[in-house]
Amino acid sequence: MTDSPCSPSPHCPFPRRCVAPHGPTPCPILVIGEGPARLELRYGYPFAGDSGLELDDHYLPLAGLRRHQVRVTNSRLCAAPDFANPTREEAAACAFHHLGHELRLTRPQLVITLGAVASSLFGITHLDHSHGIPTQGQFEHWSGWVYPIFHPAQGIRVPTLITRIRADFQHLGAILPALLSDAYSLPSDPYPTPLYRRIRHSDDLLVALHPYPDDPDYLAIDTESDTVHGMAGAPPWCLTFSPRPGDGYLIRATDTALLSQFNRWLRERRPLVIPHNAPYDVPVCRQMGVEIPRWTDTLQMAYILQHIPQGLKQLALRLCGMAMDDFEDVVHPHARQVAVSYMTDIVGEISRTCRYSHTFKSGPRKGLAELRFRGNPSPDIRDSYNRATLLLADMAAGVVEDGTPVSPWKRWDGWTDEVREAMAALSGYPLPRPSIIHVPFAQALNYACADADGTGRIYPLLRALSRGREVRKEIAS
């Protein structure tokens, strides 16, 4: 069934281009997409085009569902003139007026969100991280299970996503009875209070590497680099390793004696070393004087499997319930403060050397003062002052660009070479990049050790999945 035409918000710029929700009410499952496309507007119901055919004929059946068993709608009900997908802000503004009513009407036990825009309505900000993982979500009065998946249209545009979308719908079919009966429980972290420590002395390293009877037959490692001078060729900051789940140890790149001792232990014992992204970590280890004798890469293992993500954080959460912090969440708040100080110093230096206070002697502004440029400074100096001042004002006001707080580094990269060079000349160095060195050490320790710990935890699970894949290939052949 198709509902009567919706009642758009008085602020909606397209009041005659709305596509109403479609499907039974009430309904245990509500599917939410992004926004109407051309065929949806023509036929009057959501998912009427190619992505709708993919959803109806391919993806829903993988979960044991048919179109008539679910209700479908969009985050934004109105179609843009060019049928562009809504931004998160546009979707949130529209959903504020219609989604609460839709949830009251449908009374779903499960909401399936298709795409990052729809998922953001329920507080899911990283779809790469969260897709295929049920989460408890809330919108106004409604609360319940939310299951985020990539939009079928993304699979059409990016064929490599098809295997992930398929896997997510297959997984949904396996857990759907538990979700609808509210008997589902999220995977729990078996090591909720891991022990992460810095190695400071030779004896500490020997204790950390001493084998226990139930230790695995491999050693997980990770590295962190100081990216303050740029992403490429940055000097190493630390090496972390995890000999067993729930444990993590950090050696600073400046502790050369400890790194040399660790290298000797690797050369003598020749354990199987597990990095996540060996083409990055192995050369960084070599920069610190540590040679990896033999290794297996969990990133490559995940890539070969195809149906699961390749990111370490996503894999740790999906496979073993281990929640890990993202680099941006850990580093950016501290790095932004460094960027603020950098721009503040530039504004102060230009004000001190190139500007002076002028007081009006007559006219309507008599007695008022303003800052003026002294002499005739170069356009780059003027531009540097204006850009730095605007950036500081936008950061202080919490300006949002592309759904995230304004990025000083994105602004910096968008400026001309002349302006960047002028700022670097005034300060003595370029704008500092996001780096772990800006983070308080205790927080940096936990972040860095978690990477090695998470790598060690996912390795046996990926190995089991890989063996299952090989068995299936043998049976098929």
- pLDDT, tens only, 306-341: 777 788 998 998 888 898 998 888 999 999 999 999
Contacts for 169-177: CB closer than 8 Å, 24+ residues apart: 169/59, 169/60, 169/62, 169/63, 170/62, 170/63, 171/132, 172/62, 172/63, 172/112, 172/132, 172/147, 173/62, 173/63, 173/64, 173/65, 175/134, 176/63, 176/64, 176/65, 176/110
Rounded distance, CA 434 to CA 329, Å?
11
pLDDT reported for residue 117: 92
- Show Cβ contacts of residue 415 under 8 Å, excluding neighbours closer than 6 positions: 387
Q: What angle do CA 281, 284, 288 make, to 5 degrees?
A: 135
Confidence of residue 367 (pLDDT cuts 50, 70, 90): low
- pLDDT, tens only, 121-180: 998 888 887 888 899 999 999 999 999 999 998 888 888 788 889 989 998 998 999 999
- pLDDT, tens only, 165-221: 998 999 899 899 999 998 888 778 999 999 999 999 999 999 999 988 888 889 999
Q: Tokens 């008997």 map to which residue? A: 183
pLDDT reported for residue 230: 44
Which range among 162-166, 217-221, 251-255, 280-284 shows the weakest confidence by mean pLDDT?
162-166
* 125 or 2: which leads in pLDDT: 125
pLDDT reported for residue 306: 75
Could you give all domains of the chain from N- to C-terminal order, each with its CATH number? 29-180 (3.40.470.10), 195-322 (3.30.420.10), 327-437 (no CATH)
- pLDDT, tens only, 234-244: 799 999 999 99
pLDDT reported for residue 332: 92
- Average pLDDT value over all residues in the chain: 87
Q: What is the percent of the chain where pLDDT is above 90?
A: 53
